Chains A and B, each alone.
Chain A
Amino acid sequence: MAENMDREPMLELFIFETNQLIDQLEQALLDCEKGSGFENSINEIFRIMHTIKGSSAMMLYDNISTLAHSIEDLFFYLREERPDNVDPSKIIDIVFEGLDFIKAETAKIESGLTPDGSSEELKAKTMQYLEQLKESNPSSNNSKYESKKDSKSDNEQKYYISSDKNAQKLMTNKYEAVIFFEDGCEMENIRAFSVVHDLESIAEIVSYYPQDIMESNNSVLEIREKGFKVVFKTDLGLDEVKEILSKTVLLKDLQVYLTDDVLEGFEFNNGTSNSNNEPSLLNEDKNIVLDGMVEEPSKTFDKKLESNKAVEENNKENGKEQAKNAGKQSVISVNIAKLDRLMDLVGELVIAEAMVTQNPDLRGLVLNNFNKAARQLNKITTELQDIVMSIRMVPLSTTFQKMNRIVRDMSKKLDKSVELEIIGEETEVDKNIIERLTDPLIHLIRNSIDHGIEMADERAAIGKPPTGKLILEAKNAGGEVWIIVKDDGRGLNKEKILERARENGLIFKPESELTDREIYSFIFLPGFSTKDSVTEFSGRGVGMDIVTKNIEMVGGSVHVDSTPGEGTTFSMRFPLTLAIIDGMIIAVGGNKYTIPTVSILESFKVKSEAIFEDEMGNEMIMVRGECYPIVRLHRRFRIDTEITDFSEGIMIMVEGEDKRMCIFADALLGQQQVVVKALPKYIKKVNGIAGCTLLGDGDISLILNIDEII
């Protein structure tokens, strides 16, 4: 149970790193499929699986760890043996399945659920394929990675002869030590090897049992049950020997005693002659040699290193890895909660700065030096703001690249040929937005492929290239980020949409007056779907409104446009920053409101003649030949004010999504940076208000939501 408590702080890091590895792996697999060479990715896939195996084992997620292990084994084999009868697509499919399993389990962990999926079937599949490969490639040395079976039987090589160097010294005491290692310390045979290795510097090793500690892992069980026995000769006294041996790491039990007996009928040789039965090859001084096999591990090991180096060097992955490693050193990962807190504090700082520099106490005073200092302060807080904002900005590339997988899976499933083109992935967007963006994007892309793009023969029949084109584009425009999903499919069906809208009673205007855009926008309403049948991907009518909700939650908006027969375009707009905006403060009655400066086109004083009314009684104003509706804020928000005559107040022309209008207010008070704070939860949503803020003089100002006012 102590282990469980230890897991908690590492959980986030585990999830973060595993997700990173999952993304890398997916990219590698997609590259393989596109034909950039299965060979090149073998090493990368091996290492990713190895790392996932390690960390999931540490976190006790054995279903993930054992699956990763089996795929690692498969790729180790592929790397070492390079069999020629490999079917890349079969292997890629196996790894994709494994990847999806690990992804799903990690998602469970992230949501606080138990990762209880079973990887048994997948493991079996992987191991079965590996066995098949091994069987059909018998010439290779299949056991290099696994424990070597002792080629000679146990009876033959019973002992070995230590290096000549020690043989000449006079060794007066002969000891036998029996060593038990701690339970669960693993690799007991290598630990025994280590003991012998260390003993050699102070003693002459006579014999030890089990003897196959280096070439086979079979001795592990024997050592666990009966302990590791070693007989050696040394000048040192019993106590000294005990002291040295008790320094052995992970020692559970140690017994040392003087002995004259030989070890279980073995004969010992005091090193004067090699002419006895067994060939003991001495290679280097300190090496313990048995069957001349020590050379092999070193050789094969070097060979492995060399061949891997060669592959890696010819590999573009090498460049990528070095870049990754280089990049890794100049990048750190930061806890998102800390960043949020930092943003909040910077926001508070902006408000506090305004409260100092625009303090009512200072009104009317001549403050040259103070103003100079205040400007300097402002310069610094502005720069601080910009940097904090940019820290939270993340390029869209990861999100966009994820879509490759979605497109691949869907086109396979629906048997359509679709090509995804990504433009502007380096465009950066606030981290909060990225998180809200993924689901809508997936949904829109699925829709495009499911509804929009036609089957290859249908396309060919109307003269379109058989492969459908899906464009995913991101760009900066003004203070916003645009994300566009465009396909060249069959477009939206106006008639069907109108019909469905009629059925659901959604039409609010006489049909003849509906613009195409308004008709297409019906699809964003909840429950709307023109698909007659429900497929795995769409038709349930719950997708589009989730898309809209997600986008609106981060202050964005989405629109759709379409040309029948040619395609459909979805455009999403997001504000660059959520928290601090440039605002124009206006007065209405005794209240102050803030209009985001990005929405303001111009402001001006009016002469009453330019105003008239349209046929429905709405006030309109003519500016440079164009007509704009007027919104009297005092009426809209029902505020008492003395300024009701247009000539006494001020007109502010604002632009929403694609409509413009003029807002009538009492006066303009000034422009300042404003920290957007959400309305407190106990206040219900007010149409037309986006949030509120604290001004420099201590007053509260409500921030207008221009789109809702229009």
Chain B
Amino acid sequence: MKKVLVADDATFMRTSLRMMLERNGFEVAGEAENGLVAVSKYKEIKPDIVTMDITMPVCDGIKAVQMIKEFDPNAKIIMISSMGQECFVKEAILSGAKGFIVKPFKEEYVIETLSKL
């Protein structure tokens, strides 16, 4: 089972995603409520995939992608974005994110995106 780290500052979002993933055969090995926690959790659990929200307090998603990629260039990170955050997603892709999902997300798209990694 692939291990996923879910990063988002909203408990609701993390739980939504967790439920979707667990329903579809993924293991949510950890959650993070901001970029800093995401980086430290990444080092701790070494997940197969990371879902990273863009807007988070303390340290945002883009910075976190950069830091994780520095630690592990093979890290597979999917950005969770809202409509209107196009330039941030671009930046994330240029920083090494492998793909993105747009909120509000459809379960099938989430699963397809993660499965194709």
With A185-B109, A194-B99, A305-B63 already in contact, the answer to whether A297 and B12 are too (CB < 8 A) is no
Name which residue of chain B comes closest to A146, CB basis.
B84
User: Quick check: is A142 within 8 A (CB to CB) of the other chain?
Assistant: no
Q: Which residues of chain A have C-beta atoms less than 8 A from B100's C-beta? A: 187, 190, 194
Name which residue of chain B comes closest to A286, CB basis.
B94
With A58-B12, A214-B90 already in contact, the answer to whether A301 and B62 are too (CB < 8 A) is yes
Q: Which residues of chain B have C-beta atoms less than 8 A from A287's C-beta? A: 94
Contacting pair A54 B82 (CB below 8 A): yes
Q: Which of B55, B90, B112 has the most CB of A within 10 A?
A: B90
With A10-B12, A17-B12 already in contact, the answer to whether A301 and B89 are too (CB < 8 A) is no
User: Quick check: is B19 within 8 A (CB to CB) of the other chain?
Assistant: yes
Against A, the Cβ 8 Å flags (1 = close, 0 = not) of B101-114 are 01111110100110
A247 to B93 Cα, complex, angstroms: 16
* Number of B residues, CB within 8 Å of A: 41
Task: Identify A187's interface contact among B9, B12, B89, B106, CB under 8 A.
Answer: B89
User: Quick check: is B13 within 8 A (CB to CB) of the other chain?
Assistant: yes
A14 to B11 Cα, complex, angstroms: 9
User: Quick check: is B51 within 8 A (CB to CB) of the other chain?
Assistant: no
Contacting pair A187 B83 (CB below 8 A): yes
Contacting pair A10 B63 (CB below 8 A): no
Q: Which residues of chain A have C-beta atoms less than 8 A from B88's C-beta? A: 301
Q: Which residues of chain A have C-beta atoms less than 8 A from B34's C-beta? A: 325
Contacting pair A325 B103 (CB below 8 A): no
Name B14-33 residues within 8 Å CB distance of A. Answer: 15-16, 19, 33
User: Quick check: is A249 within 8 A (CB to CB) of the other chain?
Assistant: yes
Contacting pair A190 B93 (CB below 8 A): yes
Task: Identify A325's interface contact among B57, B81, B94, B102, CB under 8 A.
Answer: B57
Q: Which residues of chain B have C-beta atoms less than 8 A from A250's C-beta? A: 109, 112-113
User: Quick check: is A269 within 8 A (CB to CB) of the other chain?
Assistant: no
Q: Which residues of chain A have C-beta atoms less than 8 A from B1's C-beta? A: none
Task: Identify A50's interface contact among B11, B82, B86, B94, CB under 8 A.
Answer: B82
Contacting pair B91 A249 (CB below 8 A): no
A53 to B12 Cα, complex, angstroms: 12
Q: Which residues of chain B have C-beta atoms less than 8 A from A14's C-beta? A: 12
Q: Which of A13, A54, A325 has the most CB of B within 10 A?
A: A54
Contacting pair B112 A187 (CB below 8 A): no
Against B, the Cβ 8 Å flags (1 = close, 0 = not) of A485-528 are 00000000000000000000000000000000000000000000
Q: Which of B86, B87, B99 has the most CB of A within 10 A?
A: B86
How far in angstroms is the closest Cβ of chain B from A71?
Answer: 14
A298 to B94 Cα, complex, angstroms: 10
How far in angstroms is the closest Cβ of chain B from A116?
Answer: 19
User: Quick check: is A217 within 8 A (CB to CB) of the other chain?
Assistant: yes
Contacting pair B10 A51 (CB below 8 A): yes
Q: Which residues of chain B have C-beta atoms less than 8 A from A55's C-beta? A: 10, 12-13, 16
Against B, the Cβ 8 Å flags (1 = close, 0 = not) of A43-77 are 00001001101110110100000000000000000
Contacting pair A10 B16 (CB below 8 A): yes
User: Quick check: is A9 within 8 A (CB to CB) of the other chain?
Assistant: yes
Task: Identify B58's interface contact among A10, A17, A217, A322, CB under 8 A.
Answer: A322
User: Quick check: is A641 within 8 A (CB to CB) of the other chain?
Assistant: no
Q: Which residues of chain B have C-beta atoms less than 8 A from A566's C-beta? A: none
22 CB < 8 A contacts A-B:
A10-B16, A13-B15, A14-B12, A47-B9, A51-B10, A53-B82, A54-B103, A55-B10, A55-B16, A60-B104, A185-B102, A187-B86, A187-B102, A190-B100, A194-B100, A249-B99, A249-B113, A297-B91, A298-B91, A305-B63, A321-B57, A329-B33
| Other contacts beyond A187-B102, A287-B94: 12, CB < 8 A | A50-B82, A55-B16, A58-B103, A147-B86, A186-B83, A190-B100, A250-B113, A297-B91, A298-B91, A301-B88, A301-B91, A321-B57
Q: Which 4 A-B pairs have the closest CB atoms?
A: A186-B102, A57-B104, A55-B12, A58-B104
Chain B: residues with CB nearer than 8 A to chain A?
A: 9-13, 15-16, 19, 33-34, 37, 55, 57-58, 60, 62-63, 81-84, 86-91, 93-94, 99-100, 102-107, 109, 112-113, 116
